[in-house]
Amino acid sequence: MARAEGDPERAMDGFVSVARLLEEPRLGRLYTFVLRAGEVTIDDIVDELELPRTTAYSDAGTLVDLGVLSRDETHKTHTYEATPIVLSADLDGDEYTITPTLVEAIGRSSRDRDLDLLLEKHGLGKLAAALTYAVPYAEGEMAERLAARELDLQVAFAIAVLHALREVVLDMRPHDPYFGRIRSAGDHPPSTEN
Protein backbone atom coordinates (compact mmCIF):
# COMPACT_ATOMS: atom_id res chain seq x y z
CA MET A 1 0.00 0.00 0.00
CA ALA A 2 1.38 3.42 -0.93
CA ARG A 3 1.49 6.03 1.79
CA ALA A 4 0.91 9.69 1.17
CA GLU A 5 3.62 12.10 2.21
CA GLY A 6 2.73 13.68 5.52
CA ASP A 7 0.85 10.54 6.56
CA PRO A 8 -0.03 10.88 10.28
CA GLU A 9 0.23 7.10 10.80
CA ARG A 10 3.77 7.10 9.45
CA ALA A 11 4.65 10.14 11.58
CA MET A 12 3.35 8.50 14.76
CA ASP A 13 5.23 5.29 13.95
CA GLY A 14 8.37 7.41 13.62
CA PHE A 15 7.76 9.06 16.99
CA VAL A 16 7.32 5.66 18.62
CA SER A 17 10.53 4.38 16.99
CA VAL A 18 12.57 7.30 18.24
CA ALA A 19 11.03 6.96 21.71
CA ARG A 20 12.06 3.30 21.90
CA LEU A 21 15.63 4.22 20.92
CA LEU A 22 15.68 6.85 23.67
CA GLU A 23 14.18 4.53 26.29
CA GLU A 24 16.29 1.44 25.64
CA PRO A 25 20.06 2.04 25.60
CA ARG A 26 20.83 -1.43 24.21
CA LEU A 27 18.59 -0.79 21.18
CA GLY A 28 20.11 2.66 20.72
CA ARG A 29 23.62 1.22 20.88
CA LEU A 30 22.79 -1.43 18.28
CA TYR A 31 21.12 1.12 16.02
CA THR A 32 24.06 3.55 16.04
CA PHE A 33 26.57 0.71 15.60
CA VAL A 34 24.80 -0.31 12.39
CA LEU A 35 24.54 3.34 11.29
CA ARG A 36 28.29 3.85 11.76
CA ALA A 37 29.30 0.50 10.25
CA GLY A 38 27.07 0.60 7.18
CA GLU A 39 26.08 -2.94 6.26
CA VAL A 40 26.49 -5.56 9.02
CA THR A 41 25.61 -9.17 9.77
CA ILE A 42 24.45 -10.70 13.03
CA ASP A 43 28.01 -12.00 13.49
CA ASP A 44 29.31 -8.41 13.27
CA ILE A 45 26.77 -7.32 15.88
CA VAL A 46 27.59 -10.20 18.23
CA ASP A 47 31.34 -9.62 17.92
CA GLU A 48 31.34 -5.83 18.19
CA LEU A 49 28.64 -5.34 20.82
CA GLU A 50 29.38 -8.56 22.74
CA LEU A 51 25.73 -9.56 22.75
CA PRO A 52 24.42 -13.11 22.94
CA ARG A 53 23.36 -14.25 19.47
CA THR A 54 19.70 -14.61 20.47
CA THR A 55 19.69 -11.07 21.88
CA ALA A 56 21.31 -9.73 18.69
CA TYR A 57 18.65 -11.42 16.53
CA SER A 58 15.84 -10.24 18.78
CA ASP A 59 17.06 -6.65 19.01
CA ALA A 60 17.81 -6.42 15.28
CA GLY A 61 14.30 -7.76 14.60
CA THR A 62 12.82 -5.15 16.93
CA LEU A 63 14.69 -2.39 15.11
CA VAL A 64 13.54 -3.75 11.74
CA ASP A 65 9.94 -3.75 13.04
CA LEU A 66 10.41 -0.15 14.20
CA GLY A 67 11.60 0.79 10.71
CA VAL A 68 15.04 2.09 11.73
CA LEU A 69 16.93 -0.94 10.37
CA SER A 70 16.36 -2.76 7.12
CA ARG A 71 17.20 -6.42 6.58
CA ASP A 72 18.44 -7.70 3.23
CA GLU A 73 17.44 -11.35 2.95
CA THR A 74 18.61 -11.90 -0.63
CA HIS A 75 21.75 -13.77 0.49
CA LYS A 76 22.20 -16.69 2.86
CA THR A 77 23.73 -14.36 5.44
CA HIS A 78 21.28 -11.53 6.04
CA THR A 79 22.65 -8.02 6.33
CA TYR A 80 21.30 -5.00 8.16
CA GLU A 81 21.50 -1.30 7.37
CA ALA A 82 20.30 1.67 9.41
CA THR A 83 17.97 4.43 8.32
CA PRO A 84 19.08 7.77 9.80
CA ILE A 85 16.43 9.19 12.11
CA VAL A 86 15.63 12.76 13.00
CA LEU A 87 12.85 14.13 15.14
CA SER A 88 12.28 17.83 15.65
CA ALA A 89 9.88 19.52 18.00
CA ASP A 90 8.94 23.17 18.25
CA LEU A 91 8.54 24.16 21.89
CA ASP A 92 7.54 27.75 22.56
CA GLY A 93 9.08 28.88 19.28
CA ASP A 94 12.39 27.05 19.82
CA GLU A 95 13.22 24.00 17.73
CA TYR A 96 14.79 20.98 19.40
CA THR A 97 16.09 18.07 17.36
CA ILE A 98 16.87 14.47 18.22
CA THR A 99 19.42 12.89 15.90
CA PRO A 100 21.44 9.65 15.98
CA THR A 101 24.09 11.46 18.04
CA LEU A 102 21.76 11.71 21.05
CA VAL A 103 20.75 8.08 20.53
CA GLU A 104 24.45 7.14 20.60
CA ALA A 105 24.95 9.04 23.87
CA ILE A 106 22.07 7.10 25.40
CA GLY A 107 23.41 3.84 24.00
CA ARG A 108 26.79 4.48 25.59
CA SER A 109 25.22 5.06 28.99
CA SER A 110 25.07 1.31 29.52
CA ARG A 111 28.87 1.19 29.27
CA ASP A 112 29.85 4.60 30.63
CA ARG A 113 29.30 5.17 34.33
CA ASP A 114 29.24 8.98 34.04
CA LEU A 115 26.58 9.01 31.32
CA ASP A 116 24.59 6.36 33.18
CA LEU A 117 24.70 8.38 36.40
CA LEU A 118 23.68 11.56 34.55
CA LEU A 119 20.64 9.80 33.11
CA GLU A 120 19.77 8.16 36.40
CA LYS A 121 20.05 11.32 38.52
CA HIS A 122 19.08 14.07 36.08
CA GLY A 123 17.22 12.46 33.17
CA LEU A 124 17.29 12.56 29.41
CA GLY A 125 16.75 16.32 29.27
CA LYS A 126 20.02 16.98 31.10
CA LEU A 127 21.85 14.58 28.76
CA ALA A 128 20.44 16.46 25.76
CA ALA A 129 21.49 19.77 27.37
CA ALA A 130 24.98 18.41 28.02
CA LEU A 131 25.24 17.39 24.38
CA THR A 132 24.57 21.01 23.34
CA TYR A 133 27.71 21.97 25.29
CA ALA A 134 29.71 18.93 24.19
CA VAL A 135 29.45 19.97 20.52
CA PRO A 136 31.33 23.30 20.86
CA TYR A 137 33.64 21.75 23.47
CA ALA A 138 34.60 18.92 21.08
CA GLU A 139 35.14 21.45 18.29
CA GLY A 140 37.43 23.57 20.47
CA GLU A 141 34.98 26.48 20.46
CA MET A 142 34.17 26.43 24.18
CA ALA A 143 36.42 25.91 27.17
CA GLU A 144 35.84 22.81 29.26
CA ARG A 145 35.29 24.68 32.52
CA LEU A 146 32.86 27.16 30.96
CA ALA A 147 30.81 24.35 29.44
CA ALA A 148 30.93 22.41 32.72
CA ARG A 149 29.79 25.44 34.73
CA GLU A 150 26.81 25.98 32.47
CA LEU A 151 25.54 22.42 33.03
CA ASP A 152 24.69 23.25 36.65
CA LEU A 153 26.30 20.04 37.91
CA GLN A 154 29.21 19.45 40.27
CA VAL A 155 32.17 20.65 38.16
CA ALA A 156 34.22 17.42 38.23
CA PHE A 157 31.15 15.39 37.27
CA ALA A 158 30.23 17.83 34.49
CA ILE A 159 33.77 17.59 33.09
CA ALA A 160 33.59 13.78 33.13
CA VAL A 161 30.27 13.93 31.28
CA LEU A 162 31.71 16.37 28.73
CA HIS A 163 34.68 14.06 28.13
CA ALA A 164 32.33 11.12 27.50
CA LEU A 165 30.14 13.19 25.19
CA ARG A 166 33.16 14.58 23.35
CA GLU A 167 33.87 11.02 22.19
CA VAL A 168 30.25 10.62 21.12
CA VAL A 169 30.41 13.86 19.12
CA LEU A 170 33.68 12.93 17.41
CA ASP A 171 32.50 9.39 16.61
CA MET A 172 29.08 10.42 15.30
CA ARG A 173 29.87 13.61 13.34
CA PRO A 174 30.85 11.69 10.17
CA HIS A 175 27.90 9.29 10.41
CA ASP A 176 24.98 11.43 11.56
CA PRO A 177 23.54 13.14 8.47
CA TYR A 178 21.59 15.47 10.78
CA PHE A 179 24.54 16.40 12.99
CA GLY A 180 24.33 20.05 11.93
CA ARG A 181 20.79 20.24 13.33
CA ILE A 182 21.92 19.52 16.89
CA ARG A 183 21.44 22.63 18.99
CA SER A 184 24.87 23.95 19.96
CA ALA A 185 25.56 26.16 22.95
CA GLY A 186 28.33 27.63 20.79
CA ASP A 187 25.65 29.36 18.72
CA HIS A 188 24.50 31.23 21.82
CA PRO A 189 27.48 31.12 24.17
CA PRO A 190 26.89 31.63 27.87
CA SER A 191 28.00 34.81 29.55
CA THR A 192 31.55 34.69 30.92
CA GLU A 193 30.56 37.01 33.77
CA ASN A 194 30.08 35.70 37.35
Q: Are residues 73 and 100 in the same domain?
A: no
pLDDT at 183 exceeding the cut of 90 = no
Higher pLDDT, 186 or 144: 144
pLDDT at 1 exceeding the cut of 60 = no
Looking from the CA of 58 toward its CB, the CA atoms found within 13 Å total 6
Classify residue 193: in a domain, yes or no.
no
pLDDT of residue 2: 45
Classify residue 186: in a domain, yes or no.
no
Query: Of 37, 52, 82, which residue is a domain's last?
Result: 82
Query: Of 82, 115, 146, which residue is a domain's last?
Result: 82
Query: In this predicted model, what pLDDT tens digit does every residue of 124-166 receive, in sequence order?
Result: 999 999 999 999 999 999 998 998 888 989 999 999 999 999 9
pLDDT of residue 171: 96
Q: How many domains does the chain have?
A: 2
Classify residue 194: in a domain, yes or no.
no
pTM, 2 dp:
0.88
pLDDT of residue 188: 61
Query: Of 82, 113, 142, which residue is a domain's last?
Result: 82
Higher pLDDT, 120 or 7: 120
Classify residue 188: in a domain, yes or no.
no
Structural domain that includes position 34: 8-82
Query: In this predicted model, what pLDDT tens digit does every residue of 18-72 receive, in sequence order?
Result: 888 999 999 999 999 999 999 999 999 999 999 999 999 999 999 999 999 999 9
